Amino acid sequence: MRAELIAVGTELLLGQIVDTHSAYLSQELSRLGIDVYYHSTVGDNRGRLQEVIRLAKSRSDIVIFTGGLGPTEDDLTKEALAEVLGVSLIEHAPSLEHIRGFFKARGLTMPEANRKQAMVFPGGVVFPNPNGTAPGVAVTHDQVTYVLLPGPPVELIPMFEDHVRSFLHGLLPHDEVVVSRVLRFYGIGESHLEEKVGHILRQQSNPTIAPLAKEGEVTLRLTAKAASEAEAQALIQPVRQALLEVVGKYCYSDNDEPLERICIRRLTEQQRTVALAESCSGGLLAETLTSIPGSSQAVKGGIVSYSNEAKERLLQVPASVLERFGAVSMEAALHMAEGARAALNTDFALSITGVAGPEPAEEKPVGLVYVGLAEKGQPSRAYRLQLSGSRRKIQIRSVKHAMFILQERLKKGETT
Amino acid sequence: MRAELIAVGTELLLGQIVDTHSAYLSQELSRLGIDVYYHSTVGDNRGRLQEVIRLAKSRSDIVIFTGGLGPTEDDLTKEALAEVLGVSLIEHAPSLEHIRGFFKARGLTMPEANRKQAMVFPGGVVFPNPNGTAPGVAVTHDQVTYVLLPGPPVELIPMFEDHVRSFLHGLLPHDEVVVSRVLRFYGIGESHLEEKVGHILRQQSNPTIAPLAKEGEVTLRLTAKAASEAEAQALIQPVRQALLEVVGKYCYSDNDEPLERICIRRLTEQQRTVALAESCSGGLLAETLTSIPGSSQAVKGGIVSYSNEAKERLLQVPASVLERFGAVSMEAALHMAEGARAALNTDFALSITGVAGPEPAEEKPVGLVYVGLAEKGQPSRAYRLQLSGSRRKIQIRSVKHAMFILQERLKKGETT
């Protein structure tokens, strides 16, 4: 099955927003075993949109549109498609009721413009949208299936998760399942990883092995197609084994569990707590760990000690240490971690202090970062990193390193 | 001049990475006054790439490719284009020397595979790449200009800034400049804004008016083309005036300055400082404000008081207040702000406490958020919000509201 994605919206062509929908949908389709051969982006222009539709129709089995389902005159995805297919849209009463209710809940009356959002394709499918007004719609015509989804990720993603994925799954030949397994690696770069396992990558067929470099880490996604889940897993197993034999020491998760989730899970399992002290990462470590549901048991709190004053007042880092070694130092990292641990009375504390850039600081180079780990009843430790890249990249990598260190320490705790 | 962007790379179709190049280039082209009508993404497949090239050739004046300039067999952008145009590539000695030097600097010899990166179009232009191996290339053929650029942003962006922008500028009719002005609005949703200024939007011609909804705010970009900067500004002025007459009370910036930048700028100008106390936003407010260069003067630090313990220990919120009113309350927000202000001895402090979701907490609904503002020598204030959406959306909107409140308060400070 060949799929094509069409992102509709002049704001995409003006570069005002980045098209994340296509990446999201492509990943999801890939997991379903549907091959995406084309992405296009087109503006809110009926003529060009219809051109793109006719092209897609001629070369793909599934065409997925995002955007252009709003109430304004510029929103024309449904209308353009209906015209190309030569069908008339019909009003869908439950959708109209939902849209009216959406406005009523905000103490407003539905503007007439929104009425067209309740128009759907006869004989097609309607996907409810609890996070917005426009329902998604789908219709199959002349052996091509068209799926029209809202643009905003907060509407698109739940709709896909709850309804569209199973709809697409239903389009697939039923004698096949697709199973993926993701291995996550830290401490090795993409080119080196590919070099080490190149012989395995070159021989891949089923499962396929897809490397992906993320900021500061690399993943390998193994995807197998077979007649049943069990058979697919049996195909994956030896390939996973072969990969781990070569690069297993860099693999921190073999079931796609990100660092933050591992940290929270292990802390929760061991009933232990952590406090955070951040300087150059500005709150990103706290934000990352607390993004995991249920983290409130494990993460008592954090301190963003952006200024030296804050380090002294909130973390009890002695002024003499800051004077002598600077805020970007092994000593500061150790004191910050110990100060956070004591202030919040936790089992562990992590600290990050460094030069995120773009300017050097304290005559220290951009990318010099210290990560500290304090532990109740144990000596504190600090680690020196020399990172490169943009400010944001350095912040993200520092945060990943801090989490990597914590989950490694907690791993040892599992055998204690 | 009509431009089209083609992003080359199978990893884009697999959704493994998000195509940020297209957004970046689209914005830049928009600023140059070049209209982008199409984006396409295509895999590392010669046949499909040539299909896309032929289509682009038939409908656009400028075709810009990103990706596919690497040394591997999958990198075929130049080769595919050369074949469609019926030209032979030639070796460019300075580029070859640069590539050899790149490897030598790393103590390596250039692999033969990289040699093809030095092939360019005869009669064309070469854009140097100090951040990688592959130079960018451009060639005009049959009245269509093709520009081929490397994929990685760290190579693409400097190349565009240093060479490609002026190259493209040289393709334009020399009697025109393009000027934009962006108005930013808070406290009004996109549909309502468009409803209120609909009569102005419908009549737009030069300048064009492009609305864009971001999380919790809306912008209008006015873009004018004229013979000079002054004339373009003169075209923008009355339209800006007309818009502000209707919706000016929601406009917090008329020169595209985001909330965080305004906060830091006003604090710095007034030589005042702020401390932050966050619960449900988990560090996002600290991160957002400290993302502005130079914020270290204004932002002394922050506390992420994720647990009630942290609120008591770090912010001196009385246990009795938490017991009686809960952590998600007006009272808690006031105490948190005052506690942060006192702990860091700043002029102001902002606090955020609420239920970000997905579950309710303390029997309070998802989206109930309190934002507190403490000010030295003034009574503290707290604001109650009822937000909707995903956890992330609620966090972002709380943070925006906190910043909006602060910059409003600082605006009054300017007239004091």
Q: Which residue has the higher pLDDT, A14 or B391?
A: B391
**Nearest of A311, A322, A319 to residue A362 by alpha carbon:** A322
- Is the CB of A304 less than 8 angstroms away from the CB of B314? no
What is the C-alpha to C-alpha distance for residues B277 and A341, in angstroms, rounded to an integer? 18
**Nearest of A392, A309, A293, A399 to residue A353 by alpha carbon:** A399
Best interface-test mutation with B: which of A160, A306, A341 has the largest number of B CBs within 10 A?
A306
What is the C-alpha to C-alpha distance for residues B156 and B26, in angstroms, rounded to an integer? 13
Q: What is the pLDDT of residue B414?
A: 67
Residue in A closest to B189 by C-alpha: A106
B131 band by pLDDT with thresholds 50, 70 and 90: confident
Cα Rg of chain A, angstroms: 26
Query: What residues of chain A lie within 8 A of the CB of B14, using their CB?
Result: 26-27, 30, 36, 210
**A68-97 in b/e burial notation, b at 16+ Cβ within 10 A?**
bbbbbebbbbbbbbbebbeeebeebeebbe
Given a cut of 90, is residue B390 above it in pLDDT? no
Q: What is the pLDDT of residue B102?
A: 86
Nearest CA-CA distance, residue A26 and chain B, Å:
4
A30 touching chain B per CB within 8 A? yes
How distant is the alpha carbon of residue B177 from its chain centre?
Answer: 23
Query: What residues of chain B lie within 8 A of the CB of A345, using their CB?
Result: 309, 313
- Is the CB of B389 less than 8 angstroms away from the CB of A290? no
**Which region among A4-18, B232-246, B348-362 has the lowest average model confidence (pLDDT)?**
A4-18
B379 touching chain A per CB within 8 A? no
In the three-class reduction of DSSP (H, G, I as helix; E, B as strand; rest coil), residue A91 is classed as: strand
In A, residues 354-373, which contact B (CB 8 Å cutoff)? Answer: 358
Q: What is the ipTM of this complex?
A: 0.75
CB A80 within 8 A of CB A46: yes
Who contacts A357 (Cβ-Cβ below 8 Å, separation ≥6)? Answer: A366, A367, A390, A391, A394
Best interface-test mutation with A: which of B2, B58, B304, B347 has the largest number of A CBs within 10 A?
B304
Given a cut of 50, is residue B302 above it in pLDDT? yes
How many beta carbons lie within 10 A of that of residue A368, not counting itself?
Answer: 21
Structure tokens at A234: 């049996």
pTM of the shown model: 0.78
Residues of chain A with pLDDT under 50: 416
Q: What is the pLDDT of residue B176?
A: 77
CB B122 within 8 A of CB B86: no
Query: What residues of chain B lie within 8 A of the CB of A396, using their CB?
Result: none
What is the C-alpha to C-alpha distance for residues B334 and A369, in angstroms, rounded to an integer? 35
Given a cut of 70, is residue B415 above it in pLDDT? no
Structure tokens at B204: 């737009």
By CB atoms closer than 10 A (0-12, 13-18, 19+), residue B133 is buried
Residue in A closest to B387 by C-alpha: A106
Instruction: Give chain B's mean pLDDT.
Output: 91
Structure tokens at B224: 């004018």
Q: What is the pLDDT of residue B336?
A: 98
What is the C-alpha to C-alpha distance for residues B246 and B392, in angstroms, rounded to an integer? 32
Query: What residues of chain B lie within 8 A of the CB of A111, using their CB?
Result: 191, 195
CB A290 within 8 A of CB A304: no
Best interface-test mutation with B: which of A12, A26, A341 has the largest number of B CBs within 10 A?
A26
In B, residues 38-97, which contact A (CB 8 Å cutoff)? Answer: 38-43, 48, 55
Q: Which residue has the higher pLDDT, B369 or B103?
A: B369
Q: Which residue has the tokens 């009272």?
A: B331
**B57-96 in b/e burial notation, b at 16+ Cβ within 10 A?**
beebebbbbbbbbbbeeebbbbbbbbbbbeeebeebeebb
Q: What is the pLDDT of residue B416?
A: 45
Who contacts B220 (Cβ-Cβ below 8 Å, separation ≥6)? Answer: B182, B183, B185, B193, B197, B209, B210, B211, B212, B243
- Is the CB of A358 less than 8 angstroms away from the CB of B293? yes
Nearest CA-CA distance, residue B23 and chain A, Å:
4
DSSP string, A135-154: PEEEEEETTEEEEEE-SSHH
**Nearest of B371, B281, B300 to residue B341 by alpha carbon:** B300
Q: Which residue has the higher pLDDT, B30 or B136?
A: B136
B393 touching chain A per CB within 8 A? yes
Q: What is the pLDDT of residue A414?
A: 67
Q: Which residue has the higher pLDDT, B140 or B113?
A: B140
Nearest CA-CA distance, residue A152 and chain B, Å:
10
Structure tokens at A174: 């039923």
**Nearest of A33, A29, A38 to residue A5 by alpha carbon:** A38
Q: What is the pLDDT of residue B178?
A: 82
Mean pLDDT across the stretch B130-151? 94
A12 touching chain B per CB within 8 A? yes
> Which pairs with CB-CB distance under 8 Å and at least 24 residues apart come from B412-415?
B413/B266, B413/B270, B413/B272, B414/B266, B414/B269, B414/B270
CB B56 within 8 A of CB B4: yes
Query: What residues of chain A lie within 8 A of the CB of B282, using their CB?
Result: 283, 286-287, 290-291
